[in-house]
Amino acid sequence: MQIPTSTLGLAGATALLCACAGNGDGLNSQGEPGTPGSTPTQLTADFQSIQDNVFTPICTRCHEGASAPEGLQLDAAHSYALLVGVPSSEVPTLTRVKPGDPDDSYIILKLEGASGIVGQQMPYGGPYLPSSTIDVIRSWIASGAPQSSPAAAAAAFAVVATSPADAAVLPAAPRTLVVAFNREVDQSLLNSGSVMLERDTAEGPLTVPVAIGAAPGNPSTVLLSPLQTLGVGSYRLRVRGTGPAPIADLSAQGLGIDTTAQFRVAGEP
């Protein structure tokens, strides 16, 4: 069979265009800009180590940014809030990370390719994590899946996410509202004066009664369950950082400002 010259030309041009992999100069042991030549960090059973050795270098190839599969962003800024105590979207009866119970944590089932998962074993296409690495993640979950992030500890206490998000329009009334903080909240300060749900009416804001509590196993996340069905209308989720009953973390650091998320329920539940 005769190969046309155009084919040979294209093959040659392609070969010339083929760039090589990076040599890693100037990157730290996690492949990020940092101290060159730093010694690899040993994987240990704490969240920061798992983030640095597993989630950031391996999982974020796909699970990053607005188009992350299943909405699960595993970069350092979002992974903890979206993993711990959060139901899996593939199998909603299972929690992605159930503190204290690795066998019932969906992340472990997905990493092991266990029966009962939906879709493929992770990381997609491999290499699959060695059992020693999965065992470390198991240990972290078994110990309660604490956050223990130095960065979070150093940062100012803040709300990192709400659900519904600000400006959201919901097709149906939510049964649970979520406020995620960057570290553990002083639960003694959780009350109807510090976290509240208001409904906009012609007469002004009307407080909607809610049950308030920390998410099971994730004390940096607060759940609000409306005690009445939310009808069609406009609502405001308000977290007090000022005034007589402000929210604070365990070291009494407050938010400093009120945080609000306005959302609208467009349809009945």
Partner 1 sequence: MRAVLRCFAPALLLALSLPALAEPYLAVANGYKCGQCHVNPTGGGERTVFGEIFAQTALPAQHLDTGADLWTGQLNRFIALGGDLRYDLEAQQVPKTRTTNQFSLEQARVYLSASVIPDRLLVYVDEQVAPGGALNREAWAMYWSAGHTWYVKGGQMYLPFGLRLEDQSAFVKQVTGINMTTPDDAVEVGWEKGPIDLQLAVGNGTAGGSPSSNGKQESLQLQYVASRFRIGTAANFNGSSAQGSRDAFGVFGGLRTGPIAWLAEADIVNDHGLPSGPGGGSRKLATLVEANWSPARGHNLKVTYEYLDPDREVANDQQTRWSFVYEFTPIQFVQLRFGARLNDGIPQLPAEHLKLYFVQLHGFF
CA torsion 80-81-82-87 (nearest 10°) is 110
* Nearest distance in Å: CB 250, partner 1: 24
* Nearest distance in Å: CB 191, partner 1: 26
Q: What binding mask, one character per residue, do residues 33-72 give for partner 1 by CB under 8 A, x or -? A: x------x----------------xx--xx-xxxxxxxxx
Kindly list the distances between the CA atom of residue 28 and the CA atoms of 1, 75, 199, in Å, as whole numbers in the listed order. Answer: 50, 17, 50
DSSP calls for 209-238: PEEEEEETTEEEEEEEEESS---SEEEEEE
Quick check: 233 binds partner 1 (CB under 8 A)?
Answer: no
According to CB under 8 A, which one of 73, 95, 182, 221 is a site residue for partner 1? 73
* Nearest distance in Å: CB 70, partner 1: 5
Nearest-angstrom CA–CA distance, 41 and 30: 8
- CB nearer partner 1, residue 27 or residue 214: 27
Kindly list the distances between the CA atom of residue 193 and the CA atoms of 107, 126, 152, 188, 218, in Å, as whole numbers in the listed order. Answer: 36, 49, 26, 12, 22
Omega before residue 164 within 30° of 0, cis: yes
Residues 83 to 122 in contact with partner 1, rule: CB under 8 A = 89-91, 113, 115-121
Quick check: 16 binds partner 1 (CB under 8 A)?
Answer: no
Quick check: 30 binds partner 1 (CB under 8 A)?
Answer: yes
Contact 137, 111 (CB under 8 A): yes
Nearest-angstrom CA–CA distance, 241 and 138: 36
CA R_g for the chain: 23
* Nearest distance in Å: CB 159, partner 1: 11
Residues 127 to 186 in contact with partner 1, rule: CB under 8 A = 127-128, 130, 161-169
Nearest-angstrom CA–CA distance, 184 and 214: 9
According to CB under 8 A, which one of 43, 45, 48, 75 is a site residue for partner 1? 75
- CB nearer partner 1, residue 69 or residue 254: 69
Contact 268, 173 (CB under 8 A): yes
For partner 1, how many residues bind (rule: CB under 8 A)?
71
Q: What binding mask, one character per residue, do residues 183-222 give for partner 1 by CB under 8 A, x or -? A: ----------------------------------------
* Nearest distance in Å: CB 10, partner 1: 6
